[in-house]
Amino acid sequence: MNSYEVSIGLITILVVLCVVSLNLTQIVIAHGYMWYKVPLWRAAMMLLVSALAKTNRVPFDLMKRESELVSVFNMKYPCMSFMLFFLADYANIISMPALSAVFGLAYA
């Protein structure tokens, strides 16, 4: 587990404490009564930065250099493992905006 995953977990706990429910439907409904982005704007910015870091997007993509993208991934993993590795990466990219939408960052 990386340090940005800890911050995502703490932000999740903070939103759950504000809503007083673990039900995702109740969290989304609670945004209609009180827009949590305003009182939790620091947490919203931390979630945005943590989501960028978790999905290895700019400026946090330093681990994936161009030379490593060309050679290492193609040689290190066989066909099925290579496919599963990149499917997991894209699933992570899809799950971060979904998490942001549930916690109210999508309401602009």
Tens digit of each residue's pLDDT (9 = 90 or more) over 12-35? 899 899 889 999 888 888 877 777
Give the span between the Cα atoms of 108 and 30, in whole angstroms.
16
Give the span between the Cα atoms of 22 and 27, in whole angstroms.
8
Is 90 a residue whose pLDDT tops 70? yes
Is 82 a residue whose pLDDT tops 70? yes
Backbone angles phi, psi at 54, to 5 degrees: -70, -35
- The DSSP secondary-structure symbol of 91 reads H
What is the overall mean pLDDT for the chain? 78
pLDDT band of residue 108 (cuts 50, 70, 90) is very low
Give the pLDDT confidence score for residue 13 in this predicted structure: 92
Is 11 a residue whose pLDDT tops 50? yes
- pTM of the complete model beyond 0.95: no
Question: Tokens 């809503």 appear where?
Answer: 19
Contacts of 56 (CB under 8 A, 6+ apart): 63, 64, 89
